[in-house]
Amino acid sequence: MGAVATIHGQGSEERAWENCDWLWQQPETPLAELVAGAGRIVVVAPHPDDEVLACGGLLCAAAAIGVPVQVVAVTDGEACYPGEAWWTPQRLRQARREELRDALGELAIDAASIVHLGIADGGVSNHETGLEDWLWQTLREDDLVLAPWRFDGHPDHEAAGRAAWRAARSAGCQRLEYPVWGWHWLDPGCAHMAWESPRLLDISAVAARKREAIAQFRTQTGDVPRLQAEPILPAHVLTRFYRTHEVYFA
C-alpha cells in the first residue's frame, strides 16, 4: 500500500467481514476456471505489496501450474511515511523494490517478472492516460489482467484500476479486479450493493506461502529499525489478507 489521504481509522473489523454471510456463501470459482485460456497473468499493482496482499494466493497457485506471471509495479510506494527522518522516500523506494522481489520469491515468482514503472507514489491519477497507453502496448490478447477495484477508495488504486480496465478492454484481454482498501471502508452489511457477483478463490493450499510473502514487506508491517510512524500494515489490516479465500470481480 502507499500514501493514504482519505482512509482513516481501523475500518471495518475482520469479525464483521467473517459474518458477511452473503459474501462467503457465494460459489467458489476454481483456479482453472479463473485462468482458463490465459497465456500470462499480468497483475497491476499501484504500490509494492498490493499484488501479494490481494492476489498472492492466485499468483502462487498459477505459477505452480506453469502460467507465467508479470507484475507491473506502478509506483514504488515511497510516500508511505512522510516526514520520517530515516525512512526517506529515497530509502523507501529501494527497500520496497527489494521487499517486492523477496515476497514474490516466496511465491516462486522470479524477480525478472517485475516491471517497475516508477510513477510517483500518490500521483498515479496524473499519469493515468500514460499508464493506460503503456499497458495497451504491453498487453496480449491471451493475458489475464488483475487490477485494483476501480472504487477501492485510494486515488492511486482507482486510477490504476481505471487505466488497466480500459487497456485490457482495448487489447481484448480477460480482466479481474481485486479490492484492497475496499475491505477497510466498506460496510460488510452493504457489500451486496457494491460487489456484483464476486468470485471466490480457495487458496487454502498456498495460504501459508502467501503469509510468508506478506511478511517480506517489513517496512509496511513495522518490522524495521528507526521507524517512528505507525506501520501501514498493522495487525488489524493484515488479518484481512490472511484468509483462505481471495475475492475478485469480473
Per cent of the chain over pLDDT 70 is: 97
Report whether pLDDT(2) > 90.
no
**C-alpha grid cell for residue 79?**
510516500
Amino acid at 76: D
pLDDT of residue 5: 41
pLDDT of residue 9: 86
pTM over 0.75: yes
| 3-state DSSP assignment of residue 6 | coil
Longest dimension (CA), the chain: 48
Q: What is the 3-state secondary structure (H, E, C) of 23-69?
A: HHCCCECCHHHHCCCCCEEEEEECCCCHHHHHHHHHHHHHHHCCCCE
Report whether pLDDT(37) > 50.
yes
**C-alpha grid cell for residue 96?**
520496497
Residues 120-127: what's their mean pLDDT? 98
Cell 516466496, residue located = 106
Report whether pLDDT(3) > 50.
no
Spell out the CATH class of 23-248: alpha beta
CA distance 245 to 27: 12
Residues 60-84: what's their mean pLDDT? 97
| Number of other CB atoms surrounding residue 7 within 10 Å | 13
Q: Where are any strands of DSSP class E within the chain?
A: 40-45, 69-75, 114-119, 143-148, 174-178, 199-202, 245-248
Residues 112-130: what's their mean pLDDT? 98
pLDDT of residue 1: 54
Residues 180-192: what's their mean pLDDT? 97
Whole-number mean pLDDT of the chain?
Answer: 96
pLDDT of residue 7: 67
Report whether pLDDT(6) > 70.
no
